[in-house]
């Protein structure tokens, strides 16, 4: 067995070449006669073979050599690399990755299985490949020692160490908040000055640590494209996958948690949304469907949109199936996108009549929603029957700190991310206009007057399952306020509609270290997470977009 210290170098090299091969295969699928991607694949396979020989992994050497021979035979006879060789390329890459991931234990039997498959494929195929024993070139472009020296010049820090340091800072932040609370009683100028100094130093330290974890969102787009390419290849569907990440940087911890939900949502768009070519032509759409992934930063959050131009969701069919299957027992007067999402994220619910390899098992959107909530994120959708579906994910750019406004409603103190608040204003009840559809603020500068609703009512609606309240509840009286006094309003956009939220009191604006909810309170909707205040009491951080 080769020395353990070189296994990481081997794994890094394999990852690089596998990524190159996956991109080339994607190009090859669209243009089987193009010899350039075949050349790139051959070059990467040769590099994998070389480093595998250096490490003594003979099974990997043999499988890459066999695949090289197969591709070379196709190229020599100018035969397009179509379904059979492409399938074999995918099989080889998956086997090599499994071998790599199992190190320092070797999965020889898995690679041997693929070797046998390739040999059988060569023997049964129309192309005869003459396998000749060749001397393995043990020399790779850079020696192991040279690679080892290059690693010394790029010290890597384990992300778990950075996370632990950030947790330590959060504990210090709670101590700082406790000192602030204490100083409200002591009124010490020196202590106040010291607290401000500590606050600034903690912020700088936190920013430095977080910057070490930040990675471009584009880091995962290649993996997404490969996963979608494989799925399209296996189903025979063809799409244009359009990506626009806007050079957004995001916490690596958040990025890891996003991979599985994104792959699932994009596959759903292809499987459920994009129609067959005949149906698209009948609907006067381009034969090839479009799935677009867009990422943009909004203050402390990243907004990720997956949009397709398929059939959309037939709301009537979804509600009927949910009622028939007893996933829901009622429907509101108006079935909006919010209620549709509520139904689709019920555990076990599926719209598929039959199970495929990636859908129809009822383990989809509920798990996506749960995964997002674990990192303080949320999901909304905008449905357009016959024209497509847009799913919007909102996740914090970092998992730790969110600048928040603490407000009171009744006896409850909650936190609202500052990034969600357009402005704060005072207004008397005389400035409210009540209509059949709700209560609106007459004096607002918006073209569409904001609907006025109390935070208390919004929280009650969220506890009832996230659906809209039945009827038009009046704005309740605010504690300690007479009819003529001004009310405090937070102007916020909820589902792209301006809303004036009535709160009892503004408490403070703070940087809060957010912790994810755990059982049994994990099921509370419209909550990003919680934080601990200086007095030791917890406070919920609200996700106003899902209220």
Is 241 within 8 Å of 228 (Cβ atoms)? yes
pLDDT at 15 (0 to 100)? 83
Q: What is the DSSP letter of 466?
A: S
pLDDT at 311 (0 to 100)? 92
**What b-and-e string marks burial along 71-99, b requiring 16 or more CB atoms within 10 Å of the CB?**
bebbeeeeeebeeebbebbbbbbebbeeb
What order do you get walking across the sheet with 301-308 strand by strand? 239-244, 289-298, 301-308, 388-396, 378-384
Look up the CATH superfamily of 401-546. Answer: SH3 Domains (2.30.30.40)
Beta partners for residue 453, in sequence order: 501
Which three-class secondary structure state does DSSP give residue 355? coil
What order do you get walking across the sheet with 487-494 strand by strand? 421-427, 487-494, 497-503, 451-454, 439-441, 432-434
The angle subtended at Cα 438 by Cα 437 and Cα 442, nearest 5°, is 115
Q: What are phi and psi of 412, to 5 degrees?
A: -95, 135
* CA separation for the pair 462, 442 (Å, rounded): 26
**Distances in whole angstroms, Cα of residue 514 to Cα of each of 164, 396, 436:** 14, 10, 39
Q: Write out the DSSP string of 278-306.
A: HHHHHTT--SSEEEEEEEEEETTEEEEEE
**What b-and-e string marks burial along 266-282, b requiring 16 or more CB atoms within 10 Å of the CB?**
bbbbbbbbbbeeeebee
* CA separation for the pair 57, 111 (Å, rounded): 11
Q: Please list the pLDDT of the chain residue by residue as tens digits (547 residues).
A: 345 556 777 788 888 888 888 888 887 777 777 778 888 888 888 888 888 877 778 778 888 888 888 788 777 776 777 767 787 788 788 878 877 777 766 555 655 666 666 666 555 544 333 333 333 233 333 334 444 444 444 456 777 788 788 878 877 877 887 888 888 888 888 888 898 888 888 888 888 888 888 888 888 887 778 778 777 777 777 889 999 988 899 988 888 888 888 888 988 888 888 998 888 989 999 989 999 999 999 877 899 999 999 999 988 888 988 898 888 888 877 788 888 888 888 877 876 654 444 443 334 687 788 788 777 778 889 999 989 999 999 888 886 677 889 999 888 899 998 877 888 988 888 888 888 778 888 877 766 788 888 888 888 776 655 444 444 455 554 555 555 678 899 998 776 678 889 999 999 888 887 777 766 665 566 787 888 887 778 888 887 766 6
The matching CATH number, chosen from 3.10.20.740, 3.40.50.920, 3.40.50.720, 3.30.565.10, for 220-396 is: 3.30.565.10
Q: Which of 169, 249, 252 is nearest to 213 (CA)?
A: 252
pLDDT at 132 (0 to 100)? 36
Architecture of the domain spanning 4-152: Up-down Bundle (1.20)
Q: Write out the DSSP string of 231-243.
A: HHHHHT--EEEEE
pLDDT at 388 (0 to 100)? 93
The angle subtended at Cα 40 by Cα 39 and Cα 46, nearest 5°, is 90
Q: Which of 190, 233, 2, 33 is nearest to 103 (CA)?
A: 2
Beta partners for residue 487, in sequence order: 427
Structure tokens at 255: 């990025």
């Amino acid at each position: 067995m080769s020395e353990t210290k070189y296994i990481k170098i081997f794994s890094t090299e394999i990852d690089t070449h596998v990524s190159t091969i996956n991109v080339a295969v994607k190009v090859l699928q669209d243009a089987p006669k193009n010899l350039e991607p075949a050349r790139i694949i051959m070059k990467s396979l040769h590099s994998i073979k070389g480093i595998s020989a250096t490490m003594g992994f003979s099974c990997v050497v043999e499988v890459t050599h066999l695949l090289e021979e197969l591709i070379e035979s196709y190229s020599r006879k100018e035969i397009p690399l179509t379904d059979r060789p492409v399938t074999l390329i995918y099989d080889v890459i998956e086997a090599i990755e499994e071998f790599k991931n199992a190190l320092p234990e070797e999965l020889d039997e898995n690679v041997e299985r693929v070797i046998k498959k390739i040999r059988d494929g060569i023997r049964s195929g129309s192309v005869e490949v003459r396998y000749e024993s060749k001397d393995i070139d043990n020399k790779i472009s850079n020696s192991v020692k040279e690679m080892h020296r290059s690693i010394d010049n790029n010290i890597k820090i384990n992300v778990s160490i950075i996370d632990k340091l950030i947790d330590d800072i959060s504990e210090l932040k709670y101590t700082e908040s406790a000192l602030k609370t204490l100083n409200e009683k002591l009124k010490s100028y020196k202590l106040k000055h010291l607290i401000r100094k500590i606050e600034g130093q903690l912020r700088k330290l936190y920013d430095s640590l977080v910057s070490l974890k930040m990675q471009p969102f584009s880091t995962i787009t290649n993996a997404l494209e490969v996963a979608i390419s494989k799925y399209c290849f296996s189903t025979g569907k063809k799409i244009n996958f359009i990506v626009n990440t806007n050079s957004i940087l995001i916490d690596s911890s958040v990025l890891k948690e996003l991979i599985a939900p994104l792959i699932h949502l994009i596959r759903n768009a292809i499987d459920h949304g994009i129609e067959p070519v005949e149906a698209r032509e009948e609907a006067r759409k381009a034969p090839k469907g479009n799935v677009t992934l867009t990422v943009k930063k909004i203050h402390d959050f990243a907004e990720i949109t997956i949009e397709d131009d398929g059939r959309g969701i037939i709301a009537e069919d979804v509600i009927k199936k949910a009622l028939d299957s007893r996933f829901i027992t009622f429907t509101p007067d108006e079935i909006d996108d919010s209620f549709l999402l509520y139904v689709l994220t019920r555990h076990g619910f599926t719209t598929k009549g039959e199970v495929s390899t990636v859908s129809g098992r009822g383990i989809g959107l509920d798990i996506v929603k749960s995964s997002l909530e674990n990192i303080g994120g949320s999901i909304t959708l905008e449905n357009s029957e016959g024209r497509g579906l847009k799913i919007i994910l909102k996740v914090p750019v970092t998992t730790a700190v969110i600048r928040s406004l603490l407000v009171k409603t009744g006896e409850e103190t909650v936190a609202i991310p500052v990034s969600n608040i357009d402005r704060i204003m005072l207004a008397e009840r005389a400035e409210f206009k009540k209509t059949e559809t709700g209560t609106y603020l007459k004096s607002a500068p918006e073209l569409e007057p904001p609907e006025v609703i109390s935070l208390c009512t919004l929280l009650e609606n969220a506890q009832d399952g996230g659906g809209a309240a039945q009827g038009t509840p009046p704005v309740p009286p605010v504690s300690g306020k007479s009819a003529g006094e001004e009310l405090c309003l937070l102007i916020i956009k909820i589902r792209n509609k301006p809303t004036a939220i009535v709160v009892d009191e503004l408490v403070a604006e703070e940087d809060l270290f957010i912790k994810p909810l755990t059982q049994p309170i994990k099921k509370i909707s419209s909550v990003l997470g919680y934080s601990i205040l200086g007095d030791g009491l917890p406070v919920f951080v609200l996700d106003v977009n899902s209220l």
